[in-house]
Structure 1
Amino acid sequence: MPATFPPLREELQGIEPYGAPQLDVPVQLNVNENPYGPSPAAVADIAAAVAAAAGTLNRYPDREFTELRTGLAAYLNTDGGSGITPEMVWAANGSNEVMLQLLQAFGGPGRTALSFAPTYSMYPEYARDSNTTWVVGHREGDFSLDLHHARALIAEHQPHVVLLPSPNNPTGTALPPEVVGVLCEALAALPHGGILVVDEAYGEFRREGTPSALELLPVHRNLVVSRTMSKAFALAGARLGYFAAAKEICDAIRVVRLPYHLSAVTQATAIAALRHAPELLGRVDDLRRERDECVRWLRGQGLQVADSDANFAFFGTFADRHAVWQGLLDRGVLIRETGPDGWLRVSIGTPEEMTAFRDALTEVMKENEA
């Protein structure tokens, strides 16, 4: 009998690669990108920084990306953090690589990672790729986290890593600080200890009064808070994710990182972008206002909408959500079909894009009522 070719790992056979649809339509609101590109001044500075880096490409980049870590630490200390030093910051090629490195270091065979659904659909793939056992609990009807359920699962499965986005993807729900504190304590009390990773990929979009988990870093040494430059910084194409944690956690990641994993071009791009943080983040307030208006409008249509601290809105419920998704696509608007059955997610775009979304959804809903 002929062998299967190629000799892919058995648990990977038949699996479709992860990825949202990339379709050429006028209004693309399905992957939570920032619709506003970098400012002309930032583009010019990035171009000059990359040009300078190009002259050094015969040499390996700074393996410890010291200047970048210094810049990221300084930025985090302006957005919820306090006393974060460069030694407490780690970066990689997107928050995807950050998460995979964390599970390579702290997960693995015989170890368990835990989260609560609905949540980011890549988490179980990180666990699979690192041969970490994956356990998923559930969220409440309003997508909040029940602490009794969470503590019970931690006691039962004794995970080495708990992954929790805040705001949550796909729902946009933020974690209250008390939840973070309780879970850090529950993990610290396990015989082997455990770390809590709070994924703040959308942290800059949180509503006024919603704190960042960065505030709790001085209290819990087993807390990791991750961020990305893909969303608020409008640098999805640069692929730069990072986290803040105790120095010991950052040092541990060095064991699993690939040599020189951050290119000189990536480092130069991110460092230049940080110099323009105020202007790059200047559109965040615009997106917050557009998000809040979108949530109000959707609720005004009689739909359920999760409270959102992110740059997207999660809404439903529809008897046939795929028909709604397809109806929007037929009208040139691409959103995301994700999460529990009946729900859809729309990224927040420009005012013109959001008008196109509202007009298209109004038509689709009327069509479905007929």
Structure 2
Amino acid sequence: MFNYDYVIVGAGFAGSVFAERVANLLNKKVLIIEKRNHIGGNAYDEYNEDGILVHKYGPHIFHTNYKEVWDYISQFTEMNIYYHHVLASIDGKYVPIPFNLNTLYELFPESVRIKLEKSLIENYGYGMKVPIFQLMKTENNDLKFLADFIYNRLFLNYTTKQWGMQPDELDEEVTARVPVYISKDNRYFGDKYQGVPKHGYTKMFERMLDNKNIHILLNTDYKEIINQIRYGKLVYTGSIDYFFDYKYGKLPYRSLDFKFETLSVEKFQPVGTVNYPNDYNFTRITEFKHLTGQVHNKTTILKELPKECKNSNDTPYYPILQKRNVDLYMKYKNEAEKFNNVIFIGRLAEYKYYNMDTIVKRVLDIIRNEGM
């Protein structure tokens, strides 16, 4: 029988930050159990056979307005400042997204765009972000035309590919993540702090977990060994429905297939990510050298193909936030609240989409608020 103060299920951001804090601040003995063959969760990166650093589970750009979070992460890595830019392929040309005033200039004749820009600023104010469904409710005929254009050319087909359903079937929390920006800022994120770990996320996690109090067990389902361990608290970052053996049914997710291609050119596209809302069966292409700043005579790109999460081989990436699914999650949440020595935290455990910075902030707050 093994003894630990904390057993943590999952070695992604939630589990790793929790482990680092209790091991270093409290000198507690921690066991991390991870079913994959690596640490870092979906932020894991590695060098491919051509020596190009790639993000195995899609592009990850760290961005936050929380100085506390940026300072915390920066303890374990030097951060390369990087502002992510995304273009969308619309009507045969690349235009900036989220849709902003520069996008307006690219897609419309001068007389039209001047009129639309004036209406946007007069009705909403410069620098504001307007969710597409809010814009579609306008009574201004010019803005109604613009809203319909954006919805049909940039939003509708991309959302249908990504989620397998119509936009109005999704929770507003999802649709509000891609607003119209009434500005000329082409950055995809507007946060104060933005960057990518200079030597990669995996190296950052290795430094974070480099502590004699932290033991890591990979390639292991925690249920196979949990009864052989004595522990004070369990920190669970896995799927909450799996924790309860799916007693109320499985929570639905969207998954992704990834198609990596290495090309014998230095650069493939002008920015880190290009979205394809209306063409092809993939949603976007990411070129990693834009993100990492790596110099190499070849380049690796990634095409993302969304799909339904059907079986154990499909990774659950995005909770599908519809009322019936949230109601199902609440049944599991009510069960979880009966446990005094288990902390459920993270995207899978809370059936909630988290940015990397928000999950770090959540862990730091939990530890601080519980007086650990």
* TM-score range normalised by the length of the shorter chain: under 0.3
Considering fraction of residues, name the structure with more strand. Answer: 2
Of structures 1 and 2, the one scoring higher in RCO (CA 8 A, sep 6+) is 2
Considering fraction of residues, name the structure with more helix. Answer: 1
TM-score computed with the length of structure 2 as normaliser: 0.27
Bigger Cα Rg: 2
TM-score computed with the length of structure 1 as normaliser: 0.27
